[in-house]
Structure 1
Amino acid sequence: MKFSFNIHLLKILFISSTIAIFSACTEIKKSEPVIYLIPEGYIGSLYIIFNAPNGLPPKYEGESRVYEIPPTGVLVTQMNANEGWIESSKMQYFYVNDTGDRTPISEDSASKELNTPHSNAETTRTVYVGGLGQSGPIYGCTVINQSFTIGTDSEQIDSKNLFDIYDAIKFRNIDEKLFNNMCQH
């Protein structure tokens, strides 16, 4: 009787431990809400490069991260990547004019769902989010970056508006000093 009790106890402990381990491994990390500020009229590829000690310091509005994309289309920031799950309602995209006025921009999927005369994919500029990735070497480092494009459907596939991260850094005159001390050699 004592032997079967010990086996039963061991089974319960094993199952409980297994459940606890799987629960810890499958916890979904939530991202912080985010606001993207894009220069008015910008069309094409955009990149955010994270973890750059000499990049722009973190900026917040309330609980939301704020990414102010410069006219080059490449933001180099000190912030860590915003990894994890995020509700689409927690991501806001705006065109910003010279006086700071913001005009909302919708995500590509949202505009296609609306399919109204005012959200025609051929005349309405939307944001298509490509997500997080790694690129390198860039000045000897592998960098974590987020990429996306903005424009109408035809502008988002026109090669004159698109560039990869290497071209962005080379041809958009991104200062190499922003990448100093970014990685260990």
Structure 2
Amino acid sequence: MQRIPLPVPGAPPSPAAGFEAPFDMLGACHERVARMLRLLARLREHAAGHGADTAGSEAARDVMRYFDVAGPLHHQDEERHVFPVLLAQGDAVACRTVGRLLDDHRAMEAGWAQVRQTLQRLRDAVPAPAFAFTADEQAQMDAYAALYARHLTDEDGIAYPAAQALLQPAQLQAMSADMQQRRLG
């Protein structure tokens, strides 16, 4: 079966990060988000040229699996460990940033529900050489990707460095343990 390649052939894989370095793990997740958004873009191109085929169905499955499972866990990590430390310092800029990032999480949940339905429609259509995403579906995917891109920039450039500077070693250990527990049970 042919796989839909990411747009950068030979790109290094997303970095592997362990629970002992929670901010490295959060950063690695951001890299995987970006890879999944690039795969979503390639899937759109692929569907335009090939319709709903097995390769497109598998790519849709990969994107759905990632945003169904890893995305919510990642947002929980931030909401449990990154954002509270920023809010606790009481800085107005940090509080506004966290408020916007929390709003983004809710908007991403709603946007993902729409994008997921679109990807499921593609999966359900296989095989369908004449499959096409609607203009509304295209707009929803564009909006989802744009929101995520801005959100990642805000977290990587503002929230993560600020929180990392504030967290003590014991807090980082607790963060690591919680992240591991929620993933591995």
Length-normalised TM-score, structure 1: 0.23
1 or 2, which has the higher strand percentage?
Answer: 1
Larger proportion of helix:
2
Q: Which has the bigger relative contact order, CA under 8 A and spacing at least 6? A: 2
